[in-house]
């Protein structure tokens, strides 16, 4: 079986204790590789290497333009290895190769885009209100960044964090999910070979409660950027707050996909399927609540059940497969558990509802109708192929149900009324609203959540600011020495 070692200070090495843990292939339901089980000592080594690289050596000495050129080269490296990286990701997390190949190839754009921004990070010269002084501002890297990623889109979510962090001049220690560590280790090594200096990007694999927690607590870490569950996000936020570390948190969702009677129903049903069954529902932006206006409710449900009912489950490497496995056994159990909960709450099962008899962890695309917003299936994140259909009468009720959630990550609105589209986009409390589309993302548009869906935004120009500190510098150009006991 293949072994994947830690990547610290430009070198691959075993964990301090020499221990390993297996990682599974979700399609087969069996382990395919061993991953080094990092310790708090490994975390300390990695953070110290990152701290050194931040202050001295080739990375610290690079001009911003050279840093940008290096980032663009990293983007080209991703492109050159997109196929291998996608295959590796599919083996480890079970997502479809057809989606992963496109996704990995696309993530090169993050390095090109933030590479382009690296030498456009500028301080300013405020028009001072005081005579005899000159002041200017600098934007400096915030410091060593801890990046903690989940298993659903390991490389994409990694790119969202490290591309702006590196553009800002930071150094990084990554703790990937224990379920999908391999691709991050391989990417770090490829980046090193492409010229990223030692210590700039380190990877410590292992479990959340030891490696993850030790990384967040490390005194030399100045910023934590996390994507994952809201429960872990809360714990990380509390821990980081003790040392006033900066945090960016991208957490869960229970996103409403809202279909009005005046919508193009074929497009809406396609969007509903894409929202909840793509990636087997294992995405933070899953459109897991389908709100349907009563006049078209039965027609929409009928078409939806027909389309989702024909979805082909199978080998995620096979280009004909549409629904792959659930990534982890725990997640598989959780999804089946929620199907039981929805049934007991009185929701009506319109499609699926069963585990599929295969080697790996498959669950049928599942649709519940007759859901009330107060039910757990309408409130809690399942993170699987389970859709809750909720009827509504009018715009006001649609907004009310949409916002009856502690989350606010994404929302879809399906309508042919342009005025209604704008009204809904204004009123819905979520970080993204898609009108007549769903699940579109780009490096250009801010991404993140309202309410319990997180803190801060990734992507777009402003994301670089999350990895920078402002500094004001004052210079006396001729102000007289004054009374030392009053503010100047």
Q: Which residues contact 10 (CB under 8 A, 6 or more apart)?
A: 192, 197, 198, 199
Name the residues annotated as catalytic. Answer: 250, 284
Is residue 284 within 8 A of residue 252, CB to CB? The reply is yes
Find the shortest distance in angstroms from Cβ 335 to ligand NAI.
8
- In the list ligand NAI, Mg ion, none, the entry touching 287 (Cβ below 5 to 8 angstroms by class) is none
Laid out side by side, the sheet with 2-4 consists of 2-4, 30-36, 20-25
Site string for Mg ion, 150-179 (x = CB under 5 A): -----------------------------x
Find the shortest distance in angstroms from Cβ 134 to ligand NAI.
44
Cα 113 to its chain centre, rounded Å, is 18
Angle, CA of 152, 158 and 160, to the nearest 5°: 110
- In the list ligand NAI, Mg ion, none, the entry touching 314 (Cβ below 5 to 8 angstroms by class) is none
CA neighbor of 383 nearest in space, from 334, 432, 319: 334
- In the list Mg ion, ligand NAI, none, the entry touching 23 (Cβ below 5 to 8 angstroms by class) is Mg ion
Can you tell me which of 43, 284, 428, 463 binds ligand NAI, judged by CB under 6 A? 284
- In the list Mg ion, ligand NAI, none, the entry touching 432 (Cβ below 5 to 8 angstroms by class) is none
CA-derived radius of gyration, the chain? 24
Q: What is the bridge-based pairing of β-strands 412-414 and 256-259?
A: parallel
Site string for Mg ion, 18-37 (x = CB under 5 A): -----xx-------------
Number of residues that make up the chain: 488
Is residue 381 within 8 A of residue 283, CB to CB? The reply is no
Site string for ligand NAI, 116-155 (x = CB under 6 A): --------------------------------xxxxx---
Our CB check for Mg ion shows the closer of 94 and 141 to be 94
Interactions with ligand NAI, residue window 320-339 (CB under 6 A): 331, 334
Can you tell me which of 277, 383, 434, 447 binds ligand NAI, judged by CB under 6 A? 383
CA neighbor of 13 nearest in space, from 173, 204, 147: 204
Site string for ligand NAI, 211-240 (x = CB under 6 A): -xx--x----------xxx--x--xx----
Between CA 314 and CA 259 the distance in angstroms is 30
Interactions with ligand NAI, residue window 10-29 (CB under 6 A): none
Between CA 112 and CA 117 the distance in angstroms is 9
Interactions with Mg ion, residue window 78-107 (CB under 5 A): 92
Count of residues in contact with ligand NAI, rule CB under 6 A = 27
Three-state DSSP class for 176?
coil
Find the shortest distance in angstroms from Cβ 315 to Mg ion.
15
Plot region of 211 (φ>0 → left; ψ -120 to 50 → alpha; else → beta): alpha
Contact set with ligand NAI (CB under 6 A): 148-152, 175, 177-178, 207-209, 212-213, 216, 227-229, 232, 235-236, 251-252, 284, 331, 334, 381, 383
């Amino acid at each position: 079986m293949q072994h994947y070692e830690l990547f610290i200070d430009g070198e691959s090495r075993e964990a301090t204790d020499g221990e390993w843990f297996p990682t599974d292939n979700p399609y087969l339901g069996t382990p395919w590789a061993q991953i080094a089980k990092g310790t708090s000592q490994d975390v300390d080594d990695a953070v110290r290497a990152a701290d050194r690289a931040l202050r001295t050596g080739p990375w610290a000495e690079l001009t911003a333009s050279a840093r940008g050129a290096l980032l663009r080269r990293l983007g080209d490296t991703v492109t050159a290895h997109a196929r291998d990286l996608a295959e590796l990701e599919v083996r480890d997390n079970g997502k479809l190769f057809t989606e992963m190949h496109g996704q990995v190839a696309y993530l090169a754009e993050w390095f090109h885009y933030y590479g382009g921004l690296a030498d456009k990070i500028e301080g300013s010269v405020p028009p001072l209100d005081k005579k005899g002084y000159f002041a200017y501002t600098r934007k400096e890297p915030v410091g060593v960044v801890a990046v903690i990623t989940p298993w659903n889109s390991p490389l994409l979510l990694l790119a969202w964090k490290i591309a702006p962090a590196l553009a800002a001049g930071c150094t990084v220690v990554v703790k990937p999910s224990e379920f999908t560590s391999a691709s991050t280790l391989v990417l770090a090594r490829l980046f090193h070979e492409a010229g990223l200096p030692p210590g700039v990007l380190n990877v410590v694999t292992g479990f959340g409660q030891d490696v993850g927690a030790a990384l967040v607590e490390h005194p030399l870490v100045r910023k934590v950027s996390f994507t994952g569950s809201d429960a872990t996000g809360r714990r990380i936020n509390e821990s980081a707050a003790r040392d006033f570390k900066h945090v960016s948190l991208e957490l869960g969702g229970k996103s409403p996909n809202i279909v009005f009677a005046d919508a193009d129903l074929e497009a809406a049903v396609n969007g509903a399927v894409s929202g909840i069954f793509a990636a087997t529902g294992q995405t933070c932006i899953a459109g897991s609540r389908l709100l349907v206006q009563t006049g078209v409710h039965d027609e929409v449900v009928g078409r939806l059940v027909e389309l989702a009912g024909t979805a082909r489950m199978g080998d995620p490497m096979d280009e004909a497969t549409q629904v792959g496995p659930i990534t982890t056994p725990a997640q598989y159990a959780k999804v089946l558990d929620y199907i039981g909960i929805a049934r007991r709450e009185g929701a009506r099962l319109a499609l699926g509802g069963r585990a599929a008899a295969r080697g790996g962890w498959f669950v049928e695309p599942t649709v519940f109708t007759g859901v009330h917003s107060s039910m757990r299936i309408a409130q809690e994140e399942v993170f699987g192929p389970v859709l809750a259909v909720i009827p509504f009468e009018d715009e006001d009720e649609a907004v009310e149900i949409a916002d009856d959630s502690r989350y606010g990550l994404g929302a879809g609105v399906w309508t042919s009324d342009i005025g209604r589209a704008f009204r809904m986009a204004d009123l819905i409390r979520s970080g993204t609203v898609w009108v007549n589309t769903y699940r579109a993302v780009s490096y250009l548009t801010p991404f993140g959540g309202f309410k319990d869906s997180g803190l801060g935004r990734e992507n777009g120009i402003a994301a670089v600011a999350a990895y920078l500190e402002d500094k004001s510098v004052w210079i006396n150009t001729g102000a007289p020495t004054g009374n030392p006991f009053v503010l100047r």
